[in-house]
């Protein structure tokens, strides 16, 4: 029974043999570890047949001396040492920067609690700009760290692939030998041997050959599993790079806005404290400015004011339990990100920016379904572009993808999973990811699923982080911190508008 099962396994892996009917494995030369032997049954009546068992025993013992799977990751020692040294330097530098950022955060927090004077405000903006500059440096270091990991994994993949190819070659040779041996029946072997011990040598050799074939199959399976895991690690690291580059774009935008706010403040006040205090006291002008300020959103047909966006956010808040200020902050962050990354798939865009090119294959059917249900042309409906940075191994349409839709920047498959919930709240059937109200609701539902309804700072921060990266990885904390800072500003604006309205 055991022998039958082994033979059955051999049959299952015939696919490893070259398919060539003109040159069967019984006739073609065998290449074994650099040597070539003509088929041992090329002439079954050859005198060589009489020494078959001894030859088989020697050949199989020789074939058993082959490499086995020893480790899941194959990295050259000198390469590994180099990577470890670079990692250690980067980690040490990251620790220093994290400590500096913490100091700046403390200074900014203290400054915000001080009396609202022009000089204090200037100092606050200056320290904030310095902190953001450090955060950009931190992101650059994280990118370097990831690049080292990717190089490490790439070397491992190359070594694993080489090992797989060697195993396949060994297995092919073993299978060819097995089929040649099997072409002779035990009776024929028994009749052509001079000693009965030679016959048993033949049987032992055959069993050894079967065991070696099965061992190679098992090792090949392990190597293939290792290669799959290594490719998964590589893809994950590339996705991490995309997220870090996206966050870096947000950091640079935040830095530019902070510097611009500082310059604008000095231009308006001319360094005069009285003018600054007068500006703070002008409540009527401030309320009008807040309400009429354009609220930037990506992917909507018409821009809305902050007052209009606030009304929608408050309505969504009553339906989902998510704080309006948080919702506005997340959507602001996502729209800024979308604008920085750029848009794809617009009318007139080149084929390289079409949805078939920039969107991940597993998202395309969902996107096509969404656009068709809405009566939109899938070839001219805008989506986000991928981050294309060949210097970091990111190539659009190969391992870097876009395809996020509308103000909330939902991927098509994610949108479909929220589609029915959005429709129940807005009444739009089907809902539209490019519609401001539908997008607000979808965003709020996602945040609520991750605990944002508690309105607790930590829970809201966590929900915002997961919205961006699917995790609370500290590498992306700038996103969560920035969202919460925006939410704080929006909450102050909302409270101020309500206070002015109540005083009328």
> For residue 42, what pLDDT is reported?
38
> For residue 84, what pLDDT is reported?
67
Instruction: Give the separation between CA 61 and CA 473, rounded to whole angstroms.
Output: 53
pTM tops 0.75 = no
3-state secondary structure 92-146: HHHHHHHHHHHHHHHHHHHHHHCCCCHHHHHHHHHHHHHHHHHHHHHHHHHHHHH
Give strand pairing partners of 32. Answer: 35
Same domain, 371 and 468: yes
What is the residue whose two structure tokens read 């339906």? 319
Q: Please list the pLDDT of the chain residue by residue as tens digits (504 residues).
A: 433 444 444 444 344 433 443 443 333 443 333 334 333 333 333 333 444 444 444 454 445 444 444 444 444 455 555 556 776 777 777 777 777 777 767 766 766 666 667 777 778 778 888 888 888 888 888 888 888 888 888 888 888 898 889 888 888 888 888 777 777 666 666 666 667 776 677 777 778 888 888 888 888 899 888 888 888 888 888 888 878 887 787 788 788 878 887 787 777 777 777 777 776 666 556 777 778 777 767 666 667 888 899 999 999 999 999 999 999 999 988 887 665 455 899 999 999 999 999 999 999 999 999 999 999 999 999 998 888 777 767 777 777 889 999 989 999 999 999 999 999 999 999 999 999 999 999 999 999 999 999 999 999 999 999 999 999 998 899 899 999 999 999 999 999 888 877 765
- Burial class from Cβ neighbours inside 10 Å (0-12, 13-18, 19+) for residue 503 reads exposed
Give strand pairing partners of 201. Answer: none
Contacts of 215 (CB under 8 A, 6+ apart): 68
Contact 478, 250 (CB under 8 A): yes
> For residue 175, what pLDDT is reported?
84
Contact 335, 296 (CB under 8 A): yes
Instruction: Give the separation between CA 147 and CA 394, rounded to whole angstroms.
Output: 11
Instruction: Give the separation between CA 270 and CA 257, rounded to whole angstroms.
Output: 19
SS3 state of residue 203: helix
> For residue 448, what pLDDT is reported?
97
Same domain, 326 and 445: yes
> For residue 366, what pLDDT is reported?
97
Report if residue 247 sits inside a domain. Answer: no
DSSP string, 294-308: EE--SS-SS-EEHHH
Same domain, 179 and 37: yes
Instruction: Give the separation between CA 251 and CA 480, rounded to whole angstroms.
Output: 12
Same domain, 30 and 170: yes
Instruction: Give the separation between CA 453 and CA 475, rounded to whole angstroms.
Output: 25
Report if residue 208 sits inside a domain. Answer: yes
Same domain, 226 and 314: no
Buried b (16+ CB within 10 A) or exposed e, 331-357: bbbbbbbbbebebbbeeebeeebbbeb
Report if residue 439 sits inside a domain. Answer: yes
Report if residue 248 sits inside a domain. Answer: no
Report if residue 486 sits inside a domain. Answer: yes
Among candidates 475, 485, 465, which has minimal Cα distance to 139? 475
Same domain, 365 and 294: yes
What is the residue whose two structure tokens read 């498959």? 413
Instruction: Give the separation between CA 295 and CA 172, rounded to whole angstroms.
Output: 66
Same domain, 322 and 414: yes
Cis amide linkage into residue 158, ω under 30° from 0: no
Report if residue 286 sits inside a domain. Answer: yes
Q: Among residues 231, 249, 271, which one ends one of the domains?
A: 231
Among candidates 356, 355, 370, which has minimal Cα distance to 412? 370
Same domain, 421 and 357: yes
> For residue 504, what pLDDT is reported?
58
Report if residue 268 sits inside a domain. Answer: no
> For residue 403, what pLDDT is reported?
92
- The pair phi, psi for residue 344, each rounded to 5°, is -130, 170
Half-sphere exposure of 336 (CA within 13 A, CB side): 23
Instruction: Give the separation between CA 435 and CA 408, rounded to whole angstroms.
Output: 10
Q: Among residues 195, 213, 231, which one ends one of the domains?
A: 231
> For residue 345, what pLDDT is reported?
92
Same domain, 222 and 323: no
Instruction: Give the separation between CA 479 and CA 339, rounded to whole angstroms.
Output: 16
Q: Among residues 231, 248, 265, which one ends one of the domains?
A: 231
Same domain, 304 and 418: yes
Q: SS3 breakdown of the chain: % helix, strand, coil, rounded to 5?
A: 75, 5, 25
SS3 state of residue 179: helix
Domain count, the chain: 2
Same domain, 200 and 314: no
> For residue 456, what pLDDT is reported?
95
Instruction: Give the separation between CA 99 and CA 105, rounded to whole angstroms.
Output: 10
| Whole-Å CA distances, 415 to 66, 366, 411, 465 | 52, 9, 6, 18
End-to-end CA distance of the chain: 94
Same domain, 298 and 189: no
> For residue 48, what pLDDT is reported?
37
Report if residue 304 sits inside a domain. Answer: yes
Structural domain of 18: 2-70+165-231
Q: Are strands 35-37 and 304-305 parallel, antiparallel or unpaired?
A: unpaired
> For residue 502, what pLDDT is reported?
73
- The pair phi, psi for residue 21, each rounded to 5°, is -70, -30
SS3 state of residue 289: helix
- What is the H or E stretch that residue 232 is in? helix 196-269
């Amino acid at each position: 029974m055991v022998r039958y099962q082994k033979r059955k396994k051999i049959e299952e892996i015939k696919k490893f043999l070259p398919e060539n009917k003109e040159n069967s494995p019984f006739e073609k030369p065998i290449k074994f570890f650099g040597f070539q032997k003509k088929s041992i049954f090329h002439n079954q009546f050859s005198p060589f047949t009489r020494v078959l068992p001894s030859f088989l025993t020697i050949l199989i013992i020789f074939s058993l001396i082959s490499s086995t799977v020893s480790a899941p990751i194959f990295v050259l020692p000198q390469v590994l040492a180099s990577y470890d040294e670079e990692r250690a330097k980067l980690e040490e530098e990251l620790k220093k920067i994290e400590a500096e950022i913490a100091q700046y955060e403390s200074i900014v927090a203290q400054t915000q609690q001080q009396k609202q004077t022009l000089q204090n405000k200037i100092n606050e903006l200056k320290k904030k700009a310095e902190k953001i500059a450090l955060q950009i440096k931190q992101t650059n270091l994280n990118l370097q760290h990831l690049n080292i990991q990717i190089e490490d994994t790439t070397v491992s993949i190359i070594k694993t692939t080489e090992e797989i190819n060697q195993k396949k070659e060994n297995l092919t040779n073993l299978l060819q030998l097995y089929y040649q041996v099997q072409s002779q029946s035990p009776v024929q072997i028994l009749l052509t041997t001079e000693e009965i011990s030679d016959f048993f040598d033949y049987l032992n050799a055959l069993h050894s050959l079967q065991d070696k074939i099965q061992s190679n199959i098992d090792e090949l399976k392990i190597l293939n599993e290792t290669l799959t895991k290594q490719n998964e690690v590589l893809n994950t690291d590339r996705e991490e790079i995309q997220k870090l580059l996206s966050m870096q774009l947000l950091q640079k935008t935040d830095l530019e806005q902070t510097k611009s706010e500082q310059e604008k403040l000095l231009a308006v006040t001319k360094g005069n404290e009285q003018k600054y205090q007068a500006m703070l006291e002008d409540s009527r002008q401030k309320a009008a400015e807040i309400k009429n300020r354009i609220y930037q959103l990506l992917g909507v047909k018409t821009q809305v004011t902050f007052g209009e966006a606030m009304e929608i956010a408050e309505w969504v808040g009553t339906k989902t339990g998510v704080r309006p200020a948080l919702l506005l902050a997340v959507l602001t962050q996502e729209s800024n990100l979308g604008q920085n990354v750029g848009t794809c798939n617009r009318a007139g865009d080149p084929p390289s920016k079409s949805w078939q090119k920039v969107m991940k294959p597993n998202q395309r059917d969902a996107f096509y379904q969404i656009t068709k249900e809405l009566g939109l042309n899938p070839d001219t409906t805008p989506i986000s572009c991928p981050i294309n940075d060949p210097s970091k191994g990111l190539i659009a349409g190969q391992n870097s993808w876009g395809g996020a839709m509308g103000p909330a920047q939902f991927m098509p498959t994610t949108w479909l999973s929220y589609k029915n919930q959005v429709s129940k709240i807005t009444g739009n059937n089907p809902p539209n990811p490019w519609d401001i109200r539908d997008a607000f609701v979808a965003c709020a539902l996602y945040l609520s699923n991750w605990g944002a309804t508690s309105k607790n700072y930590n829970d809201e921060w966590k929900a915002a982080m997961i919205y961006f990266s699917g995790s609370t990885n500290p590498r992306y904390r700038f996103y969560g911190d920035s969202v919460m800072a925006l939410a704080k500003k929006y909450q102050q604006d909302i409270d101020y508008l309500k206070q002015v309205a109540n005083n009328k």
